Amino acid sequence: MIYDYYAYRILASGELKYERGRVSTEYNPAEALRQQGLEPIRLAPARYRFVWPWQQVKPAHLEQFWRSMSFLSGIPQHLAIDTFAERTQDRRLAQALRAVSTESVSGSFSGALAKRPEFPQLHVALAAAGDRVPVRRAEIYLGLAETLEFSHGVTLALRGPLMRAAVLAVVIALGLIWMAHGFVPAIESMLHAVSTTAALPPMTTATMRAVAFMGSPWSLIALGGVAAALIGLRIFLAANEEVGVAYERLVAKIPTWGKTTRQLETAVIARAFAATIRAESPDNAVELLIPVATRTNTRLALREVVNELRGRGEGGDLDIVGAFARTGAFDPIFTEYLAAGAMGTGIADACKEAARFLEAEGRTRISNLIQWVEPLLGGALITIFYGGFFALFWPFFTLAVTALHPPSSTYYIGH
């Protein structure tokens, strides 16, 4: 597909020359520009603020705070902050807000928020936009509150099934260990008897030894090692962008799950963009979305969008649509709504509608996936539960049968 490009070329003299033209590419405009002898504007990685778990505030409490600030925008900010700090149930947030209120009297509200780890970068940026345009504070704060509410709902919709599946998987693994533990004495005696008489097929012997290992304490250590490896893999994927993108492309090939995660991620980006585009220029509004993204591929695509918008200079709504469409990282429905908004309804309203549509589609896909996955996991759990009881009471059952019906000496090998 043919696209227009806008970029700067670095001349031999060290000067920058602004050029535009056309390239034939579909997913990687930056590489196509380099093939044309152009160097795209490089955007530095987003600055992430590390926050310890005990310093984090629940998204629901932050959403309530910004909604309250929107409703109380007619009074001085420090009084509005104190009003919410007195009635919030989150002690950590109340303490942070009291410090922000004290500092905002002599300084700026956004500057006070920037010093607190409880407030992400998006909150600080939109608060700064409210400081620059006081008459639009209510609108900006309400947009941020609605964005937080929407993002929290999407996160619960996506992580809820994952958490339930993870819990069921752990319970099933522990149930298998418990069931195998009940068979360990019988397996050990059988292996000892077989070693002194006749040999079993290798596959049968290997299976019995595997069950014996599963019932030993070493299986719990192995289970902990798998959990630690998964955590380490998650940290490595977050730190290495190239490997993270390759992993996400692999996950995206899963028929239902890949499309669902892409839709919900796009929905969160669209809803946040509806709030930032009302308060910032297009390039700054997109840059604020980078910390909001959870997928590495999405963050890289947002950097390319900022790169292109800043290369264009003063661009219109259609430039925004083209910049998002050229990345290929977002759901096509989002770009279609953006194009419709650029034609008349407005970018912000179009983003809201796209977010609602994508959220509904993603929730439907997750519901359809849960309908057949959870019964399978539940059936496996019930089977292992009864199998564990059977394995636990099997020695007592064999003792009872032996006591009621003593075996004849002819049953013993060698007699």
pLDDT at residue 133 in the model:
78
* Domains detected in the chain: 2-35 (no CATH), 53-132 (1.20.81.30), 146-415 (no CATH)
8 Å CB contact between 377 and 165: yes
344-to-271, 349, 350 alpha-carbon distances in Å: 19, 10, 10
Bridge partners of 6? 20
pLDDT at residue 12 in the model:
47
pTM recorded for the entire structure: 0.63
The 8 Å CB, 24+ separation contacts for 351-357 are 351/270, 351/271, 351/273, 351/274, 351/277, 352/270, 352/271, 352/274, 354/266, 354/267, 354/270, 355/150, 355/267, 355/268, 355/270, 355/271, 355/274, 356/267, 357/333
pLDDT at residue 191 in the model:
59
pLDDT at residue 374 in the model:
64
Q: What is the Cα–Cα distance from 373 to 396, expressed in whole angstroms?
A: 36
Coil/strand/helix, residue 222: helix
Bridge partners of 20? 6
Which residue type occupies 35?
A: Q
pLDDT at residue 411 in the model:
42
- Ranges of the chain whose pLDDT falls below 50: 1-16, 18, 23-27, 41-49, 197, 408-415
